[in-house]
Amino acid sequence: MTKFTRYTVNQERQKFQKETIWKKFKVGAISIRIVIFGLIIMVGLVYLIQTNQVSTGGFEIKELNKKVEELQKESKKLELEAAKLQSLKTIKAATEEMNLVSVSKVDYLTLPPSSVALGE
């Protein structure tokens, strides 16, 4: 092989290698673009899902706070009603309605001292 033929063969070989590398790079560039586009879409979807969950959680928190306030109001009403029912006036009225008799003499039971040790 002469110098010239070696040179032309090397040039053709390099040209062929450049073309195949370029084709691979071109396909690779398209693949990379597709992957990047897919990642952008996935990140967008994750962002939308998280935003939706946060806003839904805010509404749920507001509803639960309203329920807590309502239950606190109801609890106060029930406490007032319990206090009213436990008042002496109400108890006396109930005893008169039921025809109950008041106790005249109270007998208390006294227990002898026990020999049980109490822990401190």
pLDDT (0 to 100) of residue 44: 96
Question: Could you tell me where the beta strands, DSSP code E, fall in the chain?
Answer: none
Q: Measured between alpha carbons, how far is 43 from 68 in angstroms, rounded to an integer? A: 37
86: DSSP letter: T
pLDDT (0 to 100) of residue 21: 55
Does 120 map to a domain? no
Does 105 map to a domain? no
Does 104 map to a domain? no
Q: Measured between alpha carbons, how far is 106 from 78 in angstroms, rounded to an integer? A: 34
pLDDT (0 to 100) of residue 57: 86
- Number of compact structural domains in the chain: 1
Does 91 map to a domain? yes
pLDDT (0 to 100) of residue 35: 87
pLDDT (tens digit, 0 to 9) for every residue of the chain, 120 residues total?
555 555 556 666 666 555 555 555 555 677 788 889 999 999 999 999 999 988 888 888 999 999 999 999 999 999 999 998 888 888 888 888 898 887 888 888 888 877 776 666
Q: Which of helix, strand or coil describes residue 84? A: helix
Is residue 90 within 8 A of residue 84, CB to CB? The reply is yes
pLDDT (0 to 100) of residue 25: 54
Distance of CA 113 to the CA centre of its chain: 58
pLDDT (0 to 100) of residue 115: 73
**Rg of the chain, C-alpha, whole Å:** 46
pLDDT (0 to 100) of residue 96: 84
Boundaries of domain holding 69: 3-95
Does 103 map to a domain? no
Does 19 map to a domain? yes
